[in-house]
């Protein structure tokens, strides 16, 4: 057992890379057209009633058109698999149904932490009407990694109003990896639900970054434009941190280094073009850690800030020795124009810029939030840490951890436990699975209440 984050991360990296093909093929493939129609009908009967109009109906109507578009090469067939899989993978004889139930329970909990009407009203932030948690699917071919089809994208293509989070099916048996869902669900789907939030954050970047711009050695105006391009992913990271705490950052290091391949864990110090030559929309790997450091510094009700920052800095030093960051790709300049960036910039200054952006996202009071910051709704504090300690004590004693914390706290505790002791991976995973089964059955969206009995017979 170790409390050294570098040794622990390395050990967990070794465990996971030996068991998981992060971009591999697993689970059943998408069914043929005739079977798909039947499964959509059967699966639709098993989703909560609230999803009928905002998701099930639109998918049933759009399925033939989606298949035609995919076969014509207009959209990816993998997107059709995700959209339909969110329904059909609930049928009882689907091989990954039990894992999917745990998956949707986690998504529901993470999503509601930010959009729950009572929480928002307590913070004097207007509730969002009809905000259902995203659905979920496992991808047979995981070559694209974790994906979110946010609710605004579903609205554009299907006329629905519920998003979908998809993970490679190779992740299904490894809920430790689902801590990344705090980024996909507690991040993207939330920031897209509050209309205008990302644009409002981006508009504040020039002022925040002006004092650092010259040190970053980029052409004038490019630093703010770069972070505007990265804002969707950056905000998702900070929202994830508010939900799952600093454990999200440490878990992300394991995931990023494992998905990067190689013979040893390493964080990338480069960002290159993706898609139509656009720069990767994610901040450079090492900058994502600096982004988290900036946000952690704002957690006023979390007394573990200094310790968490020390651990993250140790990971930065161990897994990325580079002193420069390479940027090579295009940035959007309006709706149609692109600006090509090909620069090698100092890591230290870029790290300071990332920390400034992390502080901005964590503390900015925005019109989209009725003049409040995101921490008025959700933040990581000492109460969360006490719940994590209770879960970890339960894990160490071999007791059930069901109900000892919400799903974000369960994931944070389990992730921290296996980073401290990778040899405990299997019993921690088993205990976490049992706790997530309990979460599904008691979830206010997915669970069904038991009838009120007049008399309870004891066994």
416 and 395 Cβ atoms separated by less than 8 Å:
no
d(CA 411, CA 177): 9
Number of domains in the chain: 1
* Cα distances (Å, whole numbers) of residue 432 to 78, 185, 428: 29, 19, 6
pLDDT, position 448 = 83
User: What sign for the dihedral angle of Cα 256, 259, 265, 269?
Assistant: negative
Q: Is residue 151 part of a domain?
A: yes
57 and 104 Cβ atoms separated by less than 8 Å:
no
Could you count the other beta carbons within 10 Å of the beta carbon of residue 68? 11
Match 């069904």 to its residue by tokens. Answer: 448
Match 């505007």 to its residue by tokens. Answer: 228
d(CA 16, CA 98): 21
Of 393, 404, 396, the closest CA to residue 427 belongs to: 396
Q: Which helix (H) or strand (E) holds 112?
A: helix 97-115
Of 20, 386, 381, 384, the closest CA to residue 176 belongs to: 20
Q: Is residue 396 part of a domain?
A: no
Q: Is residue 192 part of a domain?
A: no
239 and 187 Cβ atoms separated by less than 8 Å:
yes
Q: Is residue 439 part of a domain?
A: no
Q: What is the pLDDT of residues 17-30, one digit of tens each?
A: 999 999 999 999 99
d(CA 100, CA 169): 10
State how beta strands 324-333 and 270-274 pair: parallel
* DSSP conformation letters of 320-387: ---SEEEEEEEEEETTTEEEEEEEEEEHHHHHHHHHHHHHHHHH--BGGGTTB-GGGT----HHHHHH
The token pair that represents 103 in the structure block? 């998956």
CA angle 161, 165, 169 (to 5 degrees): 145
pLDDT, position 185 = 66
The token pair that represents 349 in the structure block? 């200054």
Rounded to 5 degrees, φ, ψ at 454 are -75, -35
How far, rounded to the nearest angstrom, does the alpha carbon of residue 75 sit from its chain's CA centroid? 24
344 and 355 Cβ atoms separated by less than 8 Å:
no
**31: domain range?**
21-173
The token pair that represents 147 in the structure block? 């994906």
18, burial (CB in 10 Å: exposed 0-12, middle 13-18, buried 19+): exposed
DSSP state, 34? H
Our separate counts of H helices and E strands in the chain read 19, 7
pLDDT, position 1 = 44
pLDDT, position 318 = 97
Burial call 281-313: b when 16+ CB within 10 Å, e when fewer:
ebbbbbbbbbbbbbbbbbbeebebbeebbebbe
Q: Is residue 64 part of a domain?
A: yes
d(CA 320, CA 309): 16
Q: Is residue 223 part of a domain?
A: no
pLDDT, position 300 = 96
Helical pair 97-115 and 222-244, crossing angle rounded to 10 deg: 110
DSSP state, 30? P
Of 67, 60, 55, the closest CA to residue 30 belongs to: 67
Per-residue pLDDT of the chain (459 residues; tens, 9 = 90+): 458 999 999 999 999 999 999 999 999 999 998 899 999 999 999 999 999 999 999 999 999 999 999 999 999 999 999 999 999 999 999 999 999 999 999 999 988 888 777 788 888 888 776 678 999 999 999 998 888 888 878 888 899 989 999 999 999 999 999 887 777 766 676 777 788 999 999 999 999 999 999 999 999 999 999 999 999 999 999 999 999 999 999 999 999 999 998 899 999 999 998 655 899 999 999 999 999 999 999 999 999 999 999 999 999 999 999 999 999 999 988 777 899 999 999 999 999 999 999 999 999 999 999 999 999 989 999 999 999 999 999 999 999 999 999 999 999 999 999 999 999 999 999 999 999 999 999 999 999 888 888 898 887
279 and 271 Cβ atoms separated by less than 8 Å:
yes
Q: What is the pLDDT of residues 194-206, one digit of tens each?
A: 889 999 999 999 9
d(CA 232, CA 198): 7
pLDDT, position 78 = 93
The token pair that represents 105 in the structure block? 């329970």
Q: Is residue 168 part of a domain?
A: yes
Rounded to 5 degrees, φ, ψ at 149 are -100, 95
Q: Is residue 123 part of a domain?
A: yes
DSSP state, 144? T
Rounded to 5 degrees, φ, ψ at 214 are -65, -35
d(CA 17, CA 11): 10
Length of the chain: 459
CA angle 268, 271, 249 (to 5 degrees): 50
């Amino acid at each position: 057992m170790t409390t050294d984050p570098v040794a622990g991360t390395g050990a967990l990296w070794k465990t996971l890379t030996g068991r998981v093909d992060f971009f591999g093929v697993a689970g059943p493939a998408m069914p043929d057209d005739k079977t798909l129609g039947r499964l959509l009908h059967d699966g639709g009967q098993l989703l909560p009633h609230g999803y009928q109009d905002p998701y099930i109906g639109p998918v049933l109507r759009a399925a033939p058109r989606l298949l035609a578009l995919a076969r014509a090469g207009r959209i990816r067939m993998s997107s059709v698999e995700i959209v339909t899989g969110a329904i059909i993978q609930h049928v009882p004889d689907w091989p990954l149904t039990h894992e999917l139930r745990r998956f949707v329970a986690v998504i529901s909990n993470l999503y509601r932490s930010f959009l729950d009407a009572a929480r928002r009203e307590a913070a004097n932030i207007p509730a969002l009407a009809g905000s259902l948690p995203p659905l979920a699917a496992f991808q047979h071919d995981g070559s694209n990694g974790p994906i979110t089809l946010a609710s605004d994208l579903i609205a554009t293509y299907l006329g629905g109003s519920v998003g979908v989070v998809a993970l490679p099916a190779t992740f299904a048996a490894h809920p430790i990896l689902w801590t990344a869902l705090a980024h996909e669900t507690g991040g993207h789907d939330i920031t897209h639900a509050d209309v205008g939030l990302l644009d409002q954050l981006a508009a504040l970047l020039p002022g925040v970054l002006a004092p650092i711009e010259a040190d970053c050695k980029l052409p004038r105006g490019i630093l703010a434009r770069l972070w505007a391009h990265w804002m969707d992913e950056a905000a998702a990271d900070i929202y994830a941190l508010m939900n799952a705490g600093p454990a999200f950052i440490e878990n992300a290091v394991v995931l990023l280094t494992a998905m990067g391949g190689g013979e040893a864990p390493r964080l990338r110090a480069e960002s290159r073009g993706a898609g139509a030559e656009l720069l990767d929309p994610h901040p450079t790997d090492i900058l994502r850690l600096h982004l988290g450091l900036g946000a952690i510094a704002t957690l006023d009700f979390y007394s573990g800030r200094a310790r968490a920052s020390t651990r993250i800095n140790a990971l930065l030093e161990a897994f990325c020795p580079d002193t420069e960051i390479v940027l090579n790709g295009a940035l959007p300049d309006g709706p149609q124009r692109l600006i090509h960036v090909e620069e090698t910039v100092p890591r230290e200054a870029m790290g300071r810029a990332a920390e400034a952006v992390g502080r901005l996202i964590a503390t900015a009071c925005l019109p989209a939030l009725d003049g409040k910051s995101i921490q008025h709704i959700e933040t990581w504090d000492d109460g969360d840490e006490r719940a994590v300690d209770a879960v970890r004590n339960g894990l160490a004693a071999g007791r059930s951890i069901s109900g000892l914390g919400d799903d974000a706290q369960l994931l944070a505790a389990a992730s921290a436990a296996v980073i401290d002791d990778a040899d405990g991976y299997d019993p921690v995973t088993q205990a976490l699975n049992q706790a997530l089964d309990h979460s599904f059955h008691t979830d206010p969206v997915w669970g069904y209440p038991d009838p009120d009995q007049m008399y309870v017979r004891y066994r």
